[in-house]
């Protein structure tokens, strides 16, 4: 019986020829990741077990990004705890403000995760790295602590759902629309503790930034991980980044799947996810007149240079609506600098938007765009739960960069085709 790419990676990391769905394993990890919210908790647990040292100082990444730069005393203390731990254990991959980025954009761009790796992170969107053919998943801070000490993680091998995407994409449709449409189709628990394997001709033609977006939001469908088999697009992305030897795995033709779901992408319009669940999706043509107070482009879901280019192409020569505040947040310092060099930052500022240093910020209601009571935002972020971006009566609508930018101009949720 054949094995899926996820099964092959997990088998290789627990010393077995094959593994079965539901099997409990201890897998060796290639990278353990934590941020300024979760790592301080893990550090306390690490100290409780009196571990002499971390298992490998080169295989731990600590990235302060959620409330950075420090928004208050509490966030400053959390960041300090991370820095002191990194110094004490000589952690190679500690990224200070000014050299950091949003973790799930920074880590792959730095070549810290590669095809065939097993990566765990104390953050649910660690599943992002499946875009390059790695098994990556979020864990709790106690699991992170144990992994920092032992270099292993205990988990159950997930069942696998295969998603086959075919057909030519319509204008302005990208990875964000594909994953929102998928979540709308199967629901927020439609892939509960399952591996979401994204395949098909549309995926093979999808650029890396779109693949990262799709795998990033696998968790919004309840997935254990999202994953895409490495191809020439993947190898080109990692060619100048790889820091260690990697292995490319592919699913066997006779691999067994829990389910196979086919999606005709030619029929998919730009999508908008309504409050308060990512599954509440509608095509842009059915959104109606929804006034907004804020538009956000950025986050680990859509903060790459291609996302900024897309938003800038809509905003160029236009102004943000006087009733709307727009916030643009690049994923890393490198992307920030590239946006400046390409003139994108100037387009944003001249349009009346704020161009920020990298931070998770408004995505989790942290800072740089917290919503007041009753306010509405359209955002390229990944969650729109009650109170996610601020007050419990505020509303978040999820969309891609072009829709967010067009909405900022129109003062309501709008399609970029309305202002072309």
pLDDT tens for 123-147 read: 999 999 999 999 999 999 999 999 9
pLDDT at 36 over 70: yes
Q: Examine the fold and report which residue of 263, 298, 323 is the final residue of a domain before the chain moves on.
A: 263
In a domain, 29, yes or no: yes
In a domain, 290, yes or no: yes
In a domain, 268, yes or no: no
Q: Report, as an integer, the average pLDDT of 163-191.
A: 96
- 9 and 144, same structural domain? yes
Q: How many helices (H) and strands (E) does the chain have?
A: 14, 18
- 292 and 157, same structural domain? no
Q: What is the pLDDT of residue 364?
A: 84
* Structural element, H or E, at residue 334: helix 333-341
Q: How confident is the model at residue 266 (pLDDT cuts 50, 70, 90)?
A: very high
pLDDT at 85 over 90: yes
∠ CA 34-333-203, rounded to 5°: 75
How far apart (Å, rounded) are the C-alpha atoms in residues 257 and 211? Answer: 21
Q: What is the pLDDT of residue 296?
A: 97
Distance of CA 18 to the CA centre of its chain: 29
- 319 and 246, same structural domain? no
Q: Examine the fold and report which residue of 211, 245, 263 is the final residue of a domain before the chain moves on.
A: 263
What are all long-range contacts of 374-377, with beta carbons under 8 Å and residues at least 24 apart? Answer: 375/293, 375/294, 376/290, 376/291, 376/292, 376/293, 376/294, 377/292, 377/293, 377/294, 377/295, 377/296
- 283 and 150, same structural domain? no
Q: Report, as an integer, the average pLDDT of 37-47.
A: 94
In a domain, 356, yes or no: yes
3-state secondary structure of 28: strand
pLDDT digits (tens, 9 = 90+) for 337-364: 999 999 999 999 999 999 999 999 888 8
Q: Report, as an integer, the average pLDDT of 276-284.
A: 94
pLDDT digits (tens, 9 = 90+) for 89-108: 999 999 999 999 999 999 99
In a domain, 360, yes or no: yes
Q: What is the pLDDT of residue 361?
A: 86
In a domain, 298, yes or no: yes
Domain of 57 in residue numbering reads as 5-263
- 299 and 254, same structural domain? no
In a domain, 324, yes or no: yes
Distance of CA 2 to the CA centre of its chain: 30
Average pLDDT over the chain reads 95
* Percent of the chain surpassing pLDDT 90: 92
- 114 and 49, same structural domain? yes
Strand ranges, E, within 200-346: 225-227, 259-264, 271-273, 281-283, 294-297, 325-328
In a domain, 253, yes or no: yes
Q: Report, as an integer, the average pLDDT of 235-258.
A: 94
Q: Report, as an integer, the average pLDDT of 65-73.
A: 91
CATH code (residue 287): 3.30.499.10
Q: How confident is the model at residue 310 (pLDDT cuts 50, 70, 90)?
A: very high
pLDDT at 153 over 70: yes
∠ CA 167-170-171, rounded to 5°: 150
- 297 and 154, same structural domain? no
Q: Examine the fold and report which residue of 263, 288, 310 is the final residue of a domain before the chain moves on.
A: 263
DSSP for 70-131 reads T-SHHHHHHHHHHHHHHHHTT-SEE--TTT-B-HHHHHHHTT-S-TT-EEEESSGGGGGGGG
- 295 and 178, same structural domain? no
Domain count for the chain:
2
pLDDT digits (tens, 9 = 90+) for 379-392: 999 999 888 989 99
- 315 and 178, same structural domain? no
Q: What is the pLDDT of residue 420?
A: 66
- 277 and 227, same structural domain? no
pLDDT at 13 over 80: yes
Q: How confident is the model at residue 50 (pLDDT cuts 50, 70, 90)?
A: confident
pLDDT at 1 over 90: no
- 293 and 214, same structural domain? no
Q: What is the pLDDT of residue 419?
A: 84
Enter the pTM of the model. 0.94
How far apart (Å, rounded) are the C-alpha atoms in residues 37 and 131? Answer: 24
- Cβ(138)–Cβ(147) under 8 Å? no
- 287 and 207, same structural domain? no
């Amino acid at each position: 019986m054949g094995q899926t790419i996820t099964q092959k990676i997990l088998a290789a990391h627990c010393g077995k020829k094959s593994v079965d769905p539901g099997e409990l394993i201890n897998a060796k990890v290639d990278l353990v990741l934590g941020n300024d919210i979760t790592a301080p908790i893990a550090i306390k647990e690490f100290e409780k077990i009196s571990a002499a040292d971390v298992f490998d100082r080169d295989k731990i990444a600590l990235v302060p990004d959620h409330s950075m730069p420090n928004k208050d005393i509490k966030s400053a203390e959390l960041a300090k705890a991370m820095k002191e731990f990194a110094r004490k254990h000589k952690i190679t991959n500690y990224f200070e403000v000014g050299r950091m980025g949003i973790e799930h954009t920074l880590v792959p761009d730095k070549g810290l995760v590669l095809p065939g790796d097993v990566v765990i992170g104390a953050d649910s969107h660690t599943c992002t790295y499946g875009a390059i053919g790695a098994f990556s998943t979020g864990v709790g801070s106690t699991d992170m602590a144990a992994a920092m000490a032992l270099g292993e993680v205990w988990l159950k091998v997930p069942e696998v759902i295969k998603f086959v995407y075919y057909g030519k994409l319509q204008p302005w449709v990208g990875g964000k629309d594909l994953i929102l449409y998928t979540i709308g189709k199967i629901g927020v628990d439609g892939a509960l503790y399952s591996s979401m394997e994204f395949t098909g001709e549309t995926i093979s033609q999808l650029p890396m930034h779109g693949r990262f977006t799709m795998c990033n939001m696998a968790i919004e469908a309840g997935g254990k991980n999202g994953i895409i088999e490495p191809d020439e697009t993947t190898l080109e992305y990692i060619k100048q980044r790889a820091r260690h030897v990697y292995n490319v795995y592919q699913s066997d033709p006779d691999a067994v799947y829990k389910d196979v779901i086919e999606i005709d992408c030619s029929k998919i319009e730009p999508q908008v996810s309504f409050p308060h669940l990512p599954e509440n999706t509608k095509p842009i043509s059915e959104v109606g007149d929804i006034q907004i107070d804020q538009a956000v482009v950025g986050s680990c879901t859509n903060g790459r240079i291609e996302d900024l280019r897309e938003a800038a192409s809509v905003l160029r020569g236009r102004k943000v609506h006087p009733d709307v505040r727009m916030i643009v947040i690049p994923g890393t310092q490198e992307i920030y600098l590239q946006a400046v060099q390409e003139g994108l930052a100037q387009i944003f500022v001249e349009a009346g938007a704020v161009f920020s240093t990298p931070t998770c910020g408004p995505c989790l209601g942290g800072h740089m765009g917290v919503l007041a009571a009753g306010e509405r935002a359209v955002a390229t972020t990944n969650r729109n739960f009650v109170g996610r971006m601020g007050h419990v009566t505020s509303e978040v609508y999820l969309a891609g960069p072009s829709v967010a930018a067009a909405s900022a101009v129109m003062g309501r949720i709008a399609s970029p085709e309305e202002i072309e």
